[in-house]
Amino acid sequence: MPVSDTRSTAMWREVLELSEVGPGQNVLLLTSANSNPLLIDAAGRAAAALGATVSRLDIEPNWDLFEVGSDPTVVSGQSPIDRNPMALAAMKAADLVVDFVFLLFTPGQKEVLASGTRILLAYDAPEVLARIVPTREDRRRVLAAKAAYAAGSTMRVTSPAGTDLHARIGQYPITAEYGFVDEPGRWDHWPSGFVARLTDDETAHGRVVLAPGDIILPFKSYVQTAIALTIEAGFITRIEGGLDADFLRSYLDGFRDPNAYGVSHLGWGLQPRARWTSLGLYDKHPTIGMEARAFYGNFLFSTGPSGKHRTPAHLDIPMRGCSFYVDGAPMVVDGDVIPEDQRVAGATAQ
C-alpha cells in the first residue's frame, strides 16, 4: 500500500531530527526532473515544521553517452552541479542539502561537503524509506563495524560457491553509512546501513563467484546462473559462466575503459530491516536498490572507481552466504554478522 502523506511527513521528521535540523537551520531541497515529488513535499513539510528555513533548487538533469536504462548509478563521478557556480554557492550556504537528484563521488559534491554543509541523499520508493527509518542504534553498530575495519591491514572473503578473495587495506578511508547526517560536512544515504572501503591499490586478488540470488546493481536483477570472476592485481581479468556472465561482460565492455574492470569498495551490510527479497517486489524505476546494498550480513562487492583509477562505470553486487574476515577476525560468517557490538538481537541473514 502507498505511504500516506501523514506517515511520509512523520518519517522525514524523524530523520531530519536525527540530522540536527531545527530552528535557525537552512535546508535546501536539491531536485531535478528525476526527483520524486512525494518525497520532496514530505521533506519540505517536515523541515518547516521543525522550524528550519526551507528552499528548493531545481537543476538540469545530467546525461552521459554511457547511460543505459533509467538508474542514476549507471554513470559515476559526475553531476550537473560540478560546473554550476550558482548551484554550488546555494548548497554551501545551506546547513543541510537533501539530495533528490543523486550526487555521488563528484567534484562538486566534495566541494560542498568541504564547506561544512551536510548532504543527505534520499532516492528510493517511499515505502522502502518508511520501513528503514534509521535509528541511533543503527549508527552505533555501523560505527562499531567501522572501527573494526579500520583496525585491520588485510581482508579476506570466502563463500561456499567458491569465492576466495584477498586484499590489503588501510590506504583509503572507510565509508560508514547509517542513514542520517549529524556532523558538519557529513554525507549519508537513506536507506542504508553498511561499511565499505577501497582496497589498497592493485592488491585484490583471487576469485569471486556470484551465485544465483546475488544481486547486480544497477541491473536491479538477481543472478540466475553462476558468474566466476578471476581477479589479479586489483582487476577482473576473466568473467566465466553462462548468459549472466555474457551480459555482465558485454555491459562492462560497453564503457570501452579498462578501469571498468577494477575492484572498487568492499564491505558488509548491517541493516536488519532491509530485505534481500525487496528488489523482486517493487517496480524497478523508482528504486536504485539501496536496500539490497544494506541487508544484514551481505558481502558488498563492487567494481569500477578505485584509489588511483577513475572510470564512470560502477557496479555494486550484494552477495549472500559469504564470510568476511579482517586480519583473520570474522566480521560475517555464512551471511551472519559475528561481532557482538555489530549484531542485532534476533536478526538473521536475509
- Per-residue pLDDT of 163-203, as tens digits, reads 999 999 999 999 999 999 999 999 999 999 999 999 999 99
**Residue 350 within any structural domain of the chain:** no
Last residue of a domain, one of 79, 99, 123: 123
Cα-to-chain-centroid distance, residue 343:
20
Are both 300 and 206 inside the same structural domain?
yes
Task: Identify whether residues 277 and 153 lie together within a single domain.
Answer: yes
pLDDT tens-digit series, residues 34-91: 899 999 999 999 999 999 999 999 998 766 656 666 677 777 767 889 889 999 999 9
Do residues 194 and 330 share a domain?
A: yes
Is the domain of 298 the same as that of 177? yes
Give dist(CA 245, CA 239) in Å, integer. 6
- What is the residue whose three cell numbers read 538473521? 348
Q: Is residue 346 part of a domain?
A: no
Task: Clarify whether residues 114 and 153 are in a common domain.
Answer: no
Domain that holds residue 205: 134-337
Identity at 285, one-letter amino acid code: H
Q: Give the Cα separation of 34 and 26 in Å (integer).
A: 23
Confidence of residue 346 (pLDDT cuts 50, 70, 90): confident
Are 39 and 120 in contact by the 8 Å Cβ rule? The answer is no
Q: Check whether residue 52 and residue 17 sit in a common domain.
A: yes
Residue 348 forms part of a structural domain: no
DSSP label at residue 145:
H
Top-confidence residue, 316 or 106:
316
